[in-house]
Amino acid sequence: MAGLGGVPIIILKEGSKRETGKDVQHKNILAAKAVAEAVRTTLGPKGMDKMLIDGSGDATITNDGATILREMDIEHPVAKMIVEVAKAQDDEIGDGTTTAVIIAGKLLEKAEALIDLDVHPTVIVLGYKQAQVRAQEILQEMAIDVSGDQKTLLKIAQTAMIGKGIEIAMETLAQISVDAALAVAGSQGKDIEENIKIVKIPGGRIEDSVINYGIVVEKERTNPEMPKKVENARIMLLEGTLELKKLDTDAKITITEAKNLATFKEGEEKIIKEQVEAIVSAGANVVFCEKGIGVTAQHYLAKNGILAVRRVKREDLEMLALATGARLVGDVLQVTSRDLGQAALVEERKVGKDKQMIFVEGCEKAKAVSIILHGVSEQFLEEMERALDDAHNVVLDVIRSGKIVPGGGAPEIRVAERLRQYASTLEGREQLAIRAFADAVEAIPLTLAENAGFDPVDALAGLRAKHGQGMKNYGLNLTTGEPADMLAMGVVEPLKVKTQAIKSAAEAATMVLRVDDVIAAKREEMKAKPGQSPHDYTMPQMPMPH
């Protein structure tokens, strides 16, 4: 930068790199499009899978967009921004991440063409924001109220699971998903993992997978003398420990006579005995302890017929509290019957060849549940878990909002048609951005058709014709490639998934478009490829984990 008299003024450190204007916008858009392209082929029931290999050589095969984006080793800062938006979509709704990323990539592709026509990015951002608001209104207008309809909830769960490679057990898993979502729907927690625990057990038939109205804890009894099975369980959850605390490292106790040693040990034993007596007085016959249970405490607990489990994870304790109605107790001497939870059965069972687990079952009004999955392999069980997670989230969305829309690309076609009508009422350049937004949204039915092996142009033309005739529920039948009534076929999706996907995509695109200057500091640790600057972000570096 030149100062007065032509003397240069240096404001950046040596080695820093700065890019501005259209050049940086094109590079940023290229990076975002690359992320969208990475997940585009996974969309829909006929989508392809990706194999992700981590640093230790372990492979994950999935077509779950959220998992793919989370596992990819992405370096480009704009590509990272797109992934963060996808993560926000997954955290907020639990599904629709692939849709959001595809639309975001298409919005930026259309914006790039407008920038080349000298439409200012600010105008495009304004138009996109207007289109996003209008799209939300259109989706709300076409939404269908299904409050309390369990058949629809099953269809929602099945739609979320189609294409996940678990169709062989889809009906069983969909029913489990709906039952679990209904059980925890009253909970205020936004994160489904706080209320639904999935336990994966390799081996057995998929059809053996069940929902347990209680919690399964991957632990065993602390002492074999304790009962293996307790019916009408009165459960205590202890945050502390049932053993004497160790002395500080610099503390010393001097005992000069043998009788004093015996007295000291008797005192220790008396304290433990009082703690166990407090548990018995409260009426507890099952104890889950977050920390340790000493040998003396184990003896007294077993003597009183109490089943105890030690070193239970904090999240398991919290889920047990939700399931059984118990309160977490810090001081064992202060426990009362009001602090205890209830379950019809607590039992230690053998799982697989040599593993033991504690099953807490029959909890009335359980606000946390467990799902026990059986499958042929760890990889298949992981894919089942991902499919169930998506299904739980979308079913909960419908339970809480009561609104659905037809699937198969029908909402996107409807939004695109109405946005084009809206754009024709405007006079400024914003109408160009709104038309571009409409074209971008149509990327979803186009991609669905392409992934299913049908001609995308023919499919889109057929859908536009049906919607032009007022058949707003028509989407793409991915078996025949022809337009069909999605409601009649039972292909439905939560309204919230669609509204949030379009909102997330618009936010991601506008965030990228507003950047016109990139200043990259020198990064010594980066090894440049031959002929490449260590600050060169021209191509997104997105290798899979290796």
- Catalytic residue list: 64, 97-98, 390
Give the Cα separation of 462 and 472 in Å (integer).
Answer: 13
Instruction: Give backbone dihedrals phi and psi of 511, rounded to 5 degrees, phi first.
Output: -65, -40
Give the Cα separation of 290 and 237 in Å (integer).
Answer: 8
Contacts of 524 (CB under 8 A, 6+ apart): none
Which residues are bridge partners to 351 per DSSP? 355
**Count of residues in the chain:** 546
Give the Cα separation of 416 and 427 in Å (integer).
Answer: 19
C-alpha separations of 116 from 109, 110, 113, 130, 440 in Å: 11, 10, 5, 22, 17
Helix, strand, or coil (residue 344) = strand
Contacts of 397 (CB under 8 A, 6+ apart): 93, 94, 494, 495, 496, 497
Using the 8-state DSSP alphabet, how is residue 473 labeled?
A: T
Q: How many C-beta neighbours within 10 Å does residue 126 have?
A: 17
Give the Cα separation of 457 and 455 in Å (integer).
Answer: 6
- The β-bridge relationship of strands 483-485 and 474-476 is antiparallel
Helix (H) or strand (E) run with residue 136 in it: helix 121-142
- Return the beta strands (E) in 291-394 as ranges: 307-309, 328-329, 341-351, 355-361, 369-375
Give the Cα separation of 81 and 247 in Å (integer).
Answer: 50
Contacts of 442 (CB under 8 A, 6+ apart): 412, 413, 416, 460
C-alpha separations of 294 from 142, 243, 280, 302, 408 in Å: 62, 5, 17, 12, 59
- The β-bridge relationship of strands 210-212 and 286-289 is unpaired
Question: What's the CA angle centered on 490, arms 484 and 494, to 5 degrees?
Answer: 105
